[in-house]
A and B are shown apart, each in its own frame.
Chain A
Amino acid sequence: MPSKQSLSAAPQSLTFTTSTAFRHRLVQATLTGKPIRITSIRSSSLTPGLRPHEVSFLRLLDALTNGGVFQISETGTTLFYKPGLIGHTPSPNSATSSASKVIKHVISAESSGRGVTYFLEPTCILAPFSKSPFNIIFSGPGCVTSSTEQDYSVDTFRTAILPLYSHFNIIAKLECRIIKRSCSPGGGGEVSLTFGHQIRLPPTLHLRNPGRIKRIRGVCYTVGVSSGNNQRMIHAAREVLNQFINDIYIYSETVGHAPAAENGKRGTPGFGMSLVATSSTDCLYSADWGSSTEVIRTPEEIGRGCALRLVEEILKGGCVQRIGMKTVVSLMMMGSEDVGRVVLGKGVVEEEFVGHLRDWKAFGCGEVLVKEWSGSEGLAGGGMGGMDEGQLISLGVVGKGVGNVGRKVA
């Protein structure tokens, strides 16, 4: 058959349009090893083409992989990406020192609209399938550790996203350290990420019991403003949460001065809060809110708003919250050829998430079965006692069994 021949001769590239799900499409392409072509990226916009943070992400991807090919058209509206092997190889002349294995990713000031978690999340999805451990330091004038309008904060990433990997037995040598805190815009923060647990194939996941909330923890931070704001935020958040649960503890972090921005200008001060609720079955729900330079928000508003967001997230139910969905599904897709199940709240399924599943299907590994989940009565550990009936769905995901290509088999 001629079509098959052409397939084997030159690997056919998948074609996507527009800039939606940019990061995750690139991650999917890298994981499955399939080249992609993304066209009409903001072609009708006044500022067509790739945004600075997207270009920065491409640079990061280039640093994390070996032998990838990136072709961007002159206007920046078309991108061709042929993925390489995941895993950073240090240059041979400096191979002896361990410092050379650290990738330093400097984020430019233009991309400071997005938080550093924009880069952290997809990096961590790639990391388990890498040949070598990931050691990355994010810095530069565009490195924002606090939450922005579109991204959650690094605290939430560390306390709510990284623990998701423990469901897949990825536990060892994970570290995410905030070296310098910063707020958007302006940045100047510094975050180091160590992901030292590489696996051959993630195990099949069965998450069916959301359990009940047993503890709430949080981090409250001020950068360059009075630390009294921490107390105000915590007070306001506790006013909401104290009536539900006893075990609440919100830690406060104070940074005296915001890191200096470019040209020696003063950095942006700010504050914010990140809350994480843990259920009896180790499911996590998190919320995040911070100050903004456009809208004036009092610390009380932030604290109360953050607590309400957390309550909303818990209300949506399920075993995985919204911001953790893509991570979990990506790892399930890469898992062994078996049906893994995860129970989700109906509110978790949004347009973006459905698009993510469709993308997986386009990459040829999207066997997803959605069923109504009839409560968690029959399960040990106590569900909601039928209170969540009709609110949950069970998402069955068939793994592709690709796993880690680059890792040596022991």
Chain B
Amino acid sequence: MPSRKRKRDAEPPAAGSTSRDAISAIFQRHFESKFGAVELNPVVAPRKPKPSKSQKPQSSDPESSEDDSTQSDSEEPNLSSDGESVDEEGEGDDWDGLDSNPPQPEVITYDFSRRGPPPSTKPSSHRSFMSSKPPSSITAPTASAYKQKQPEKDDESETLNLQNDLALHRLLRESHLLDQKTLSHSSASNRQKAIESRIQSLGGTPLVKLTNSDSKIPMHIRKGMAKKEAMRVEKKKKVARENGIVVAKEKKKKRERKREGGVGGPSVGKFKRGALVLSKRDVGRMRA
């Protein structure tokens, strides 16, 4: 990155020093508020202003003169941590050599107080290290990482497809409520119907049941209604049987065992007069 390199070298050494301090203080405060207090070592040993070096690029490249101290400063903290910037520094030295000046030894102090991101410690790694087995250093996590990566590739298209599918389904289901020309809900009531149908498909109670007077039928009448309904079904069945029509079989309801009332009753048998009475069936079940 030649332009970046030039910027670094072109940075006016004396002028920006005060503003740089202020800005670095801001950065430090921001950093500390996020990650906690850090002792900052000087990252780069104070370089001597090299007049021949700093003037030349300014004259050759008009762009670099625009560059203010803020930008060069924001780059500076990177220097310590990533290797790339160190390379840059090396390149800069090469470039210096072109100048036919004796290359000044540049002391770079690595600032170790700033680290990379913390290691990802999954609960699985805890399990593997703190279990009673010797921790296997054979790289298991990479395998899992690989597995996770594989589906990620077509993950985006997959979600998009799913979304489109859902939209199409909805459209088909509610097509009777839509205006034929505009393909939008023709009226407010239709829109509400559509919404209600969605709620019902999700297992909600139909609006009619909630608001209508149906929901306020007295118990004994409701019971009578249920009885009548059952009678009608029975009658239908009977007629069908007599006429030899095959009707769908009813599913057998699984009968739940009646427990003796209350919590703490015996899970098997009956408690009678201070004794647990076991029927033959109970005993047989226990034997099995």
Contact = CB atoms under 8 A, between A and B. Distances in A.
Given A251-B126, A251-B129, A246 B134 contact: no
A166 B137 CA distance: 10
Q: Considering residues B132, B136, B137, which has the most beta carbons from chain A within 10 angstroms of its beta carbon?
A: B137
Contacts of A159: 129, 134-135
B153 interface: no
Nearest to B133: A175
A282 B135 CA distance: 11
B119 A217 contact: no
A176 B116 contact: no
A163 B115 contact: no
A247 interface: yes
Interface in B93-128: 112, 115-119, 121, 125-126
B135 A217 contact: yes
B14 interface: no
B136 A247 contact: no
A242 B110 CA distance: 13
Contact of B132 (A165, A171, A175, A278): A175
Contacts of A246: 115-119
A165 B136 CA distance: 11
Contacts of B116: 246
Contact of B119 (A192, A219, A249, A251): A249
Contacts of B121: 249
Given A246-B119, A282-B137, A219 B130 contact: yes
A174 B130 CA distance: 14
A248 B119 contact: yes
Interface residues of A, number: 26
Contacts of A284: 137
Given A242-B112, A246-B119, A282-B138, A174 B133 contact: yes
Contacts of B136: 163, 166, 171
Contacts of A34: none
Contacts of B129: 159, 217, 249, 251
A177 B135 CA distance: 12
Nearest to A158: B134
B72 to A, nearest CB: 27
A163 B137 contact: yes
A3 interface: no
A93 interface: no
Given A217-B129, A243-B112, A163 B135 contact: yes
A174 B112 CA distance: 39
A247 B134 contact: no
Nearest to A243: B112
Interface in A130-171: 158-159, 162-163, 165-166, 171
Counting chain A CB atoms within 10 Å of each CB, which of B112, B117, B132 scores highest?
B132
Interface string A172-184: 0011111000000
B126 A278 contact: no
Interface string B196-213: 000000000000000000
B132 A176 contact: yes
Given A243-B112, A248-B119, 12 more contacts: A158-B134, A163-B135, A174-B134, A175-B132, A175-B133, A176-B132, A217-B135, A242-B112, A242-B115, A246-B117, A249-B121, A278-B137
Interface of B: 112, 115-119, 121, 125-126, 129-130, 132-138
Interface of A: 158-159, 162-163, 165-166, 171, 174-178, 192, 215, 217, 219, 242-243, 246-249, 251, 278, 282, 284
